[in-house]
Chains A and B, each alone.
Chain A
């Protein structure tokens, strides 16, 4: 094993890989089980975008808040939300993170700083301004990160939030996960400008680009933005170009994609493969070590599915509980 050329120590690299692999395994498994009809409702899978969530979340702790999207499983896992609770939630079980009341699109764990996946595109942006404001009043150095896709980047509330964060100088990072498709509509059809990064200038905040398939690119760029925000430097906009391996939602035939697009991306732009190649070629981590993690993650996911399937459903008598605090 040679010297570590990366900005993360070996333990951190193993943690990052485990995070990315857990997300991938979680999503691949949902893809299969959803097709079997085991899962109610609908799910939006994050597979292919793992390097973004992981590259960012490696900088955060529980005092930092994130506001996620409808495609939120990856954000949840990397922010530390319990995988068993998440799987049970997606199965609509009483043991779920939200007692089965939220489902895939509304997994949250405030104790971990995870303010919720969100079924409304762009809705996390105003919320994260509030998280940033709270951190500022507390003076605890906490930051807020909100995610949105290239589609939601055109929502008024996202743009208004960038302005608010700028005028209040909030410790907030706006992260655009640009996977090229707003649902089924291409990014180029729905957005007139070439780069989302340019929008930062419109609000007087830095706009930065990162290759979202490269954990290290994301990690380094966002690290600077987070450090700046923690020190009172204010908000920033980060655009990460990513690949969405699956459709908008499960069951999406993806006929709007080019022939062979998914196959090409899986072969050449898979963030997990890219990560593995970099760390093994540098001689910092061996394939065997990563394979061992793969095995542990597979067991974790298998166990989470088994326990989710076995878990009790919510009781009908609890239909009305938790609407309000006291009545």
Chain B
């Protein structure tokens, strides 16, 4: 049966269920226990935002605080994965990936291929992504395109708690390294989530809104902004389809192409910077594979090519808004009218 559960607690529940099911699942990260070895409570924090709270009490030594040493513990998680464990390592903010990128893209991502298919690296690296937290330039980035670029990595970016639980369980059971991106501004968002365990296969986009006139392809927080834009446009008589990619690698190209072939218009919405982004990837793929279906030039809505600003006034305009998205949709339609 189902009940309302937050995005954050869906992460916690998926970890708990999989640790209970499989003794090789271990967790590590900075302050995921949050108090280890200190005079007060052992699990004072349960993660910097409390995502892993309670798991230490339940699973003990399988939940490990690490030194502030991303290179060592992310590498250790990968090494343990290559030796039969299923570690879930928390890289607190994806911005910290610079400190351990070698372990992720030169080691974990390449073992299977480079070792002739004879190595498995079932590691999950969880990281918070996204702006809007007043966390400034080094704690707010949307680095999904960087990890999506790397063959051998799977990249997951859920937009709601139902998908979080099913995709995180799949990530843990998957035999490839997975970068599991959690949008910190969605942690409080709640939807119905079954109590039971379930796994959502990778590479299957969701369509939270069907429509006839234009296709928005997006993921993460932008799914919600896009749905807001679609509601607004519906009141003006424009019927927009919204595709939530859910996983960026693998990518559900079939669903994107089928939708654009139906609507003839594409708006790719991405919270990442515009250059070499998920938005540009989608736009290029559609232009290459569904050019004849397009009734107007595809539009990209992205963050600007600038670091994430601190000042709230600036950060709020840095993140694409529903209004901007709606404007981009209209642009695809006005173009058509001009052309006609």
Contacts and interface: CB of A to CB of B under 8 A. Distances in A.
B199 interface: no
Interface in A220-271: none
B120 interface: yes
Contact of B76 (A106, A129, A324): A129
A24 B84 CA distance: 33
A111 B118 CA distance: 9
Interface residues of B, number: 46
B112 A130 contact: no
Counting chain A residues whose Cβ lies within 8 A of the other chain, the interface size class is: 35 or more
B72 A157 contact: yes
Nearest to B110: A106
B134 to A, nearest CB: 30
A325 B120 contact: yes
Interface stretch (B99-107, B217-225, B278-286, B311-319): B99-107
A308 B186 CA distance: 55
B81 interface: yes
Interface stretch (B2-10, B61-69, B332-340): B61-69
B75 interface: yes
Given A127-B82, A130-B77, A134-B85, A108 B72 contact: no
Contact of A102 (B77, B114, B175): B114
A323 B83 contact: no
Nearest to A98: B116
Given A125-B75, A325-B112, A130 B82 contact: yes
A102 B115 contact: yes
Contact of B78 (A65, A106, A130, A144): A130
B75 A133 contact: no
B151 interface: yes
Given A116-B114, A126-B78, 14 more contacts: A99-B116, A108-B114, A108-B115, A123-B106, A125-B72, A130-B82, A130-B87, A134-B84, A134-B85, A161-B71, A161-B75, A164-B66, A164-B72, A325-B175
15 contacts: A65-B83, A102-B114, A108-B114, A120-B106, A127-B79, A129-B72, A129-B79, A133-B85, A144-B79, A160-B67, A161-B71, A164-B67, A323-B112, A325-B112, A327-B250
